[in-house]
């Protein structure tokens, strides 16, 4: 609709064919929302195994694929935060590490909340396709193990317990076992601030000193709190996950041959940073 008032002019309309409004990708091909996000491949990645198709299997697949995408993002952020802490001696990047860890916390809260969506599926509906999942199991999530290893909970026995890993997955996990963790990076930060960091007892006392002199050791204390938050949120996800599993299958064994909820409950006491938890008793 044009403006007919004297002296007025209608606002110019963008020409969709004007090169100024067209983005180009590789080799001059037009870049679109769908091509940029690879939507054809992404939306074709959900293939049901049940026959006849079980209605809730699509939900189950979608939720777990979304988890894997978030795991990928978490690994990306954790590596960057670790590297920022390790490089802080030459380049003061601790603010960047704190920023990235804050993002990790937000994503981890999303992981916990996604369980609510999965729990809209009833046990009866899950049983319609559960047998088709065997021997697949969430235990086999390589990215989840990478995240645990990077956080500080390295478990070389995982590579022996799970024999279905591809060569590439074996190499990835082996690399994670060999490289520094978030905890290693934090210890480097403690030492760089002139605080003792030779063993767990020294680190605990140094964190306690930082807690009581936050103006001088603000970065040390902030990172200690960020790591503790990461640890707490990981524990929250494990706790929420095991209750969901028990709600769905009770005490039945897992599809991958694990003991199901019994195995998951055995993981609940896991702490990435027991030293930081111990400091709470010393404040």
Single pTM value for the model: 0.85
Amino acid 255: pLDDT: 53
As beta bridge partners, residue 30 has 24
**162 and 93 in contact (C-beta within 8 Å)?**
no
Find, among 126, 131, 151, the residue nearest to 237 by Cα. 151
Q: What is the largest CA-CA distance in the chain?
A: 82
Higher pLDDT, 127 or 77: 77
| Rg, Å, the chain Cα set | 24
Q: Residue 153 gets which letter from DSSP?
A: -
Domains and CATH numbers, the chain: 56-279 (1.20.58.480)
Higher pLDDT, 87 or 21: 87
**DSSP secondary structure letters along 12-70:** PPP-TTSGGG--B-GGGPBP-HHHHTTHHHHHT------SSPPTTHHHHHHHHHHHHHH
d(CA 221, CA 3): 61
* pLDDT, tens digit (0-9, with 9 covering 90-100), for 113-140: 999 999 999 999 998 888 877 656 667 8
């Amino acid at each position: 609709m044009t403006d007919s008032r004297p002296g007025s002019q209608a606002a110019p309309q963008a020409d969709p064919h004007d090169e100024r409004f067209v983005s180009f990708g590789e080799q001059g091909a037009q870049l679109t929302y769908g091509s940029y996000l690879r939507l054809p491949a992404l939306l074709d990645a959900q293939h049901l195994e049940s026959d006849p198709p079980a209605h809730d299997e699509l939900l189950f697949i979608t939720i777990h694929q979304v988890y894997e995408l978030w795991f990928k993002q978490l690994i990306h952020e954790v590596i960057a935060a670790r590297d920022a802490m390790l490089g802080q001696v030459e380049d003061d990047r601790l603010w960047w590490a704190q920023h990235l860890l804050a993002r990790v916390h937000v994503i981890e809260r999303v992981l916990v909340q996604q369980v609510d969506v999965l729990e809209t599926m009833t046990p009866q509906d899950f049983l319609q396709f559960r047998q088709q999942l065997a021997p697949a199991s969430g235990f086999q999530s390589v990215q989840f193990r990478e995240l645990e290893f990077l956080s500080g909970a390295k478990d070389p026995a995982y590579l022996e317990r799970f024999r279905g890993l591809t060569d590439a997955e074996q190499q990835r996990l082996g690399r994670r076992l060999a490289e520094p963790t978030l905890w290693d990076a934090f210890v480097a930060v403690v030492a760089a601030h002139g605080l003792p960091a030779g063993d767990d007892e020294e680190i605990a006392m140094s964190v306690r000193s930082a807690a009581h002199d936050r103006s001088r050791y603000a970065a040390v204390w902030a990172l200690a709190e960020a790591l503790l938050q990461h640890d707490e949120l990981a524990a929250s996800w494990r706790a929420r996950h095991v209750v969901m599993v028990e709600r769905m299958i009770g005490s039945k064994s897992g599809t991958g041959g694990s003991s199901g909820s019994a195995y998951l409950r055995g993981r609940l006491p896991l702490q990435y940073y027991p030293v930081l938890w111990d400091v709470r008793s010393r404040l």
